[in-house]
Amino acid sequence: MRIPFIAGNWKMYKDMAQARGFALKFKTLYHGTDVKTAIFAPYPQLALLVEEFKGTGIGVGAQNVHFEKEGAFTGEVSIPMLEELGVDYCLVGHSERRQYFGETDETVNLKLKALLQSSILPLVCVGENLSEREAGKEKDIVSGQIKAAFSGIAGEDAEKVTVAYEPVWAIGTGKTATAQQAQDMCECIRQTLAAMYDEETADKIIIQYGGSVKPDNASEIMDMPEIDGALVGGASLDPLKFIEIVNF
Ligand code: 13P
């Protein structure tokens, strides 16, 4: 049984006061029983959120991390540093990191492997861009990203990874993939994982959809059998909208 997992990705939004305001409101609204949730916040807000969400069941995640434990890597943050803060999750390979900051399939794989040696659970993002979809190559692109991300990772570790399918053309555009398009790709991702591991392992992995998820389309997306959750950008900035999605 896969427990639904609805996560919010704040990207580069919210100052301290806004993050605190969100946390104070959201924890009064969330009565987590059958849905897991987490907020992926900018680094400066992580400690505050860990403190505010203590004992609530609401998870806290970082949006990126370096794969080395320490070193001369100016501007980077390590996994032990995040562990020290009490962070539960970390995003890997978000399309904005791939597009603007040189994240590659190789660094995604190194980050996944390093996180799986730690107490922090990885959430890896995959997705095709518009020209790849228009060329009919979207399944090849996404299954290639999955194979590269999980390369050299054992089945018992793979089960701990959450996958988010985020078609780049649906991010921040208001243009959601149809529930059927999202379902088809999540099914393709699960088949790719089943071919790499086995059906039992693939059936345990949580696969989210992300890209313009809003309160009014969340339940249709979550009704799809291969979609186990959502990674929400814009609509996760407002606690009232985000709780509506969590309570799909
Ligand atoms: P939006 O929900 O704003 O489209 O963002 C999706 C996303 O990139 C989440 O990681």
For 88-103, how does the pLDDT look when each residue is reduced to its tens digit (9 = 90+)? 999 999 999 999 999 9
Q: Report the separation in Å between the CA atom of 97 and the middle of ligand 1, taken as the mean of its atom positions.
A: 13
Q: What percent of the chain has pLDDT over 70?
A: 100
Residue 248 carries which side chain, given as an amino acid letter?
F
Please tell me the distance between residue 23's alpha carbon and the centre of ligand 1 in angstroms.
Answer: 20
Q: Which CATH topology does 38-246 take?
A: TIM Barrel (3.20.20)
Q: Is 90 exceeded by the pLDDT of residue 175?
A: no
Q: Percentages helix, strand, coil for the chain, rounded to the nearest 5?
A: 45, 15, 40
* Joined tokens for residue 31: 């009565």
The confidence score (pLDDT) of residue 173 equals 81
Lowest mean pLDDT among 49-53, 168-172, 244-248: 168-172
CA angle 196, 199, 205 (to 5 degrees): 80
Cβ(35) – ligand 1 distance below 6 Å? no
Alpha carbon distance 205, 211 (integer Å): 20
For ligand 1, atom 1, the nearest C-alpha belongs to 233
Sorting pLDDT into bands at 50, 70 and 90, what band is 201?
Answer: very high
Residue 135, pLDDT > 90, answer yes
The two three-digit tokens of residue 118, written as one number: 């730690």
| Average pLDDT score over the chain | 97
Return the pLDDT at 1: 81
Backbone torsions φ then ψ of 96, nearest 5 degrees? -70, -30
Contacts 24+ apart (CB under 8 A), 29-32: 29/239, 29/240, 29/243, 30/56, 30/57, 30/58, 30/243, 30/246, 32/56, 32/57, 32/58
32 CA → ligand 1 middle, Å: 22
pTM: 0.97
The finding on whether 6 has its CB within 6 A of some atom of ligand 1 is no
Residue % of the chain over a pLDDT of 90: 94
Q: What is the residue extent of each domain of the chain?
A: 38-246
Q: Is the pLDDT of residue 18 over 80?
A: yes
Please write the tens of the pLDDT for every residue from 32-82.
Answer: 778 999 999 999 999 999 999 999 999 999 999 999 999 999 999 999 999
State whether the beta carbon of 212 lies less than 6 angstroms from ligand 1.
yes
